[in-house]
Structure 1
Amino acid sequence: MNTFIFVFLLSTPGVTAVLHTLRYFHTSSSDVPNFPEFVAVGYVDDVQMGHYDSNTKRVVPKKDWVKDAVGEEYVERLTARAMNNQLQFKAHLEILRQRFNQSGGVHTFQRMYGCEWDDETGEVYGYHQFGYDGEDFISLNLKEKIWIAAKQQAFITKLEWDNNKAMMSYRKYFLTQECPEVLKKIVKAGRSFLMRTDLPSIQLLQRTPSSPVTCHATGFYPRYAEMFWRKDQEEKVLEGVDHGEILPNHDGSFQMSVDLNISLIRAEDWSRYDCVFQIKGVEEDLTVTLDKSVILSNWRKSDGGVVAAVVVVPVLVLVAVVGFVTWNKCSPARCPSGFTGSHTSDTSSSSTGESDPNKETSEEQREMMTLSS
């Protein structure tokens, strides 16, 4: 089994547009000890706004301003959706195990859907995708109104869903109208929290005298940040550098690291190297000079003669799910067509009446039932 981690990768630094996201993650799992068989979480701009699991059977808003923005009625609707999905996902997990000729063991069936809104251009993007055991299964191309089967076992589902015009009409309504409107309300209510800038604490770490020196930054927000090693305050160091991913902390902030292979550097040249941290919205860089006296390690004594504690980069906290699979590693607005589905800036609803939001429960049930065909 693959090890699942919930990751948010850095989007392109320097982007001037303010892109807000509302995303829902559903995970159904089998044979995972001490973990709910179904978990649903919602995120706005990478901040967890709500949580549901099969033990509590209740959507719980994580921020007061989120609940105030969407209202109790919307929370109840999300709870009803989650309870329905819990039952459906359990059945479909078994169906998919049969399709893939698998017996017991740990398996996951996951869905990610939501929308993005550019508050400068007004553009709206919607996406909806499913994954099984850490890989793409099927995803929506909303612009073309078709589903993309990533696995042979998903082709029968694609045929059913492509022919379900009512479900497609509802899906378009939700992704291009309801979801963006909810997102706008939440952003407005939580703007002071979502638009804040928190600077990180930065430390140099080293496991052994011959290990690379790790420059580790933690506690920063937002995630639009970059960190690199620089020589002589002029150029980025490319040789002997290993860039880590941006990972979420339990408190909603982020951490990242970048390693420097010191075996390639002469001792007298250490002071020529700096670790540089840059974050969107802050002009001044944060820098730490490569210096043995400031490196934390588990092998060298501090000035006071006490052995420093073992330094371990914090393990990524699994945020309310076993971990969202690797098929969510890129921003939906930047993934190639067929991976998460194409964008659409079309915010008009269908004139047939089939996209009535009051039909959402039945359409969700129809969508999920056809997966079992």
Structure 2
Amino acid sequence: MKFFMILFLLGIPTVAPVMYSLKYFYTSSSGIPNFPEFVVVVLVNEVQIIHYDSNTKRAVPKQEWMNKITEDDPRFWEEETNMLNSNELTSKVNIAIVKQRFKRTEGPHIVQRMSGCEWDDKTYKINGFEQYGYDGEDFLVLNMTTETWIAPRQEAVITTNNLNNNKAQLAYFKFYYTKECTDWLKKFLYYGKCPLMRKDLPSVSLLQKTPSSPLTCHATGFYPDRAQMFWKKDEEELHEDVVRGEILPNHDGSFQMSVDLDLSGLKDEDWGRYSCVFQLAGVQEDVITPLDKRVILTNWREKRSSVDGFPTAAVVGAVVAVLLLLAGCITGLFLLWRRNSHGFRCANSSESSPPPGEDPAVKKETSERQTMLESRGLTETRLSSSDEH
């Protein structure tokens, strides 16, 4: 699978068991005008929390709640910046080596690195991952199960041979991505637990443009984006005559999605057998909307008639517009009320529960932070160090 496609596929929602994730994306580039040569983006549950680039040379928080981390670790941002400064220098060496391997020294080139871990707080399952890509294609992949590096391209064989001969380093990588990485994930979840771990169900509507148009089941206002929606007949999910839309962001940080159903072959007596189903990861109860002609919102009229010369259709259209406006206001107020009454209020830091599996009395030691810095710095230098043997 192409590396750039993997980056997009990471955002594909699913209602499989909820996996909390911590992901680091490093992008090194050369020959690209008006673009930083080195960019780092850190995500928790697909939400960006840290940004660094070679223009600003500073690690900065991308979420307000990330500033709370200095309460326990006052030097966090200073150390994060120093670590990424070092990685930036190493990245220049790495991209030069890879260009030589491919014998493509001219023109624009990009080396990408993705690393991190996923953790399920119900099953305690942990997945660690790390891989490199060059110009949109896989270059190196670390197999955590076998503790070996894999070379998807012939140009990476030299590097994988050197890396696979260092058994101590491989063992430490596995320890880091299955233990230390998840410890950091839990800490970040602790500081941002209100916005990151909340679950909001959507408002669902049935929409249709014209009598011959597909019927759209539209859900909006849900969070997080790990969700799916489908049509079913009786208790069987439909795959034919159905078009699924992608999940899109709303301006308030929530999400929306839709799924269309072709009604052209649907008999009137079968309407009651159809329903639209919305499922949100981590929420057991589905949002089910039966197919009902009476609740479909539309901008068409079946009949145009007049009584004593009065344009009835115009009046009906105006009434429908007012009703739709009122429905939108009521929906907005309902969503606001639900958010304020179902866990949107975060407790004060003194009242907050500790990170999963962590004793609040136990402070993070300086050595723990240093270990993480050393381990992340080590992984960033591997491309250059491998060629020195």
TM-score normalised to structure 2 length: 0.66
The C-alpha deviation readout for 1:242-279, integer Å capped at 9, x for no partner, is 33444556765344333334555569977865433222
C-alpha separation in 1, matches of 2:290 and 2:75: 50
The C-alpha deviation readout for 1:50-103, integer Å capped at 9, x for no partner, is 111222221112234334247343333332232233333344334434433446
Measured at CA, do residues 88 and 180 of structure 1 come closer, stay the same or move farther in structure 2, by a change above 3 Å? Answer: same
C-alpha separation in 1, matches of 2:19 and 2:217: 28
**Is residue 39 of structure 2 the alignment partner of residue 9 of structure 1?**
no
Measured at CA, do residues 77 and 132 of structure 1 come closer, stay the same or move farther in structure 2, by a change above 3 Å? Answer: same
**Is residue 363 of structure 2 the alignment partner of residue 363 of structure 1?**
no
Which stretches in structure 2 are left out of the alignment for 5+ residues?
A: 301-313, 322-369
- 1:360 alignment partner AA: S
The C-alpha deviation readout for 1:273-319, integer Å capped at 9, x for no partner, is 5433222426251527476962579xxx993499xxxxxxxxxxxxx
- 2:242–2:260 CA contact under 8 A, matched in 1: yes
Superposition pairs of residues 293-372 of structure 1, within 5 angstroms: 294-295=297-298, 303-304=317-318, 357=372, 359-360=374-375, 363-364=378-379, 366-370=381-385
Measured at CA, do residues 123 and 239 of structure 1 come closer, stay the same or move farther in structure 2, by a change above 3 Å? Answer: closer
- 2:83–2:373 CA contact under 8 A, matched in 1: no
CA RMSD of aligned residues (A): 3.9
- 1:41–1:52 CA contact under 8 A, matched in 2: yes
Shift in Å, 1:148? 1.2
C-alpha separation in 2, matches of 1:362 and 1:193: 30
- 1:8–1:248 CA contact under 8 A, matched in 2: no
SS at match of 2:317: coil
Shift in Å, 1:48? 1.9
TM-score normalised to structure 1 length: 0.69
Superposition pairs of residues 222-301 of structure 1, within 5 angstroms: 222-231=224-233, 234-246=235-247, 252-265=253-266, 273-279=274-280, 280-281=282-283, 283-287=285-289, 289=291, 294-295=297-298
Identity of aligned residues (%): 46
- 2:159–2:383 CA contact under 8 A, matched in 1: no
C-alpha separation in 1, matches of 2:124 and 2:251: 31
Task: Select between 288-297 and 62-71 the one with higher mean Cα deviation.
Answer: 288-297
C-alpha separation in 2, matches of 1:89 and 1:209: 58
Task: Select between 356-365 and 84-93 the one with higher mean Cα deviation.
Answer: 356-365
- 2:12 alignment partner AA: L
Aligned to 1:36: 36
Measured at CA, do residues 188 and 5 of structure 1 come closer, stay the same or move farther in structure 2, by a change above 3 Å? Answer: closer
Q: In structure 2, which of residues 96, 101, 108 is the aligned counterpart of residue 99 of structure 1? A: 101
- 2:149–2:164 CA contact under 8 A, matched in 1: yes
SS at match of 1:239: coil
C-alpha separation in 2, matches of 1:271 and 1:184: 46
Q: In structure 2, which of residues 180, 186, 198 is the aligned counterpart of residue 196 of structure 1? A: 198
- 1:119 alignment partner AA: D
The C-alpha deviation readout for 1:218-241, integer Å capped at 9, x for no partner, is 43212332201234x543221122
Q: Which has the higher contact order (CA 8 A, sep 6+)?
A: 1
SS at match of 1:88: helix
**Is residue 154 of structure 2 the alignment partner of residue 140 of structure 1?**
no
Task: Select between 18-27 and 100-109 the one with higher mean Cα deviation.
Answer: 100-109
- 1:92–1:372 CA contact under 8 A, matched in 2: no
Measured at CA, do residues 85 and 195 of structure 1 come closer, stay the same or move farther in structure 2, by a change above 3 Å? Answer: same
SS at match of 2:186: helix
Aligned to 1:76: 78
C-alpha separation in 1, matches of 2:53 and 2:221: 27
Q: In structure 2, which of residues 128, 131, 137 is the aligned counterpart of residue 129 of structure 1? A: 131
Shift in Å, 1:183? 1.5
- 2:158 alignment partner AA: I
Between Structure 1 and Structure 2, whose CA radius of gyration is higher?
2
The C-alpha deviation readout for 1:169-204, integer Å capped at 9, x for no partner, is 442343233212111222233333322112234456
SS at match of 1:294: strand
- 1:113 alignment partner AA: S
SS at match of 2:232: strand
**Moved beyond 6 Å, runs of 4+:** 1-4, 205-211, 266-272
Measured at CA, do residues 213 and 111 of structure 1 come closer, stay the same or move farther in structure 2, by a change above 3 Å? Answer: farther
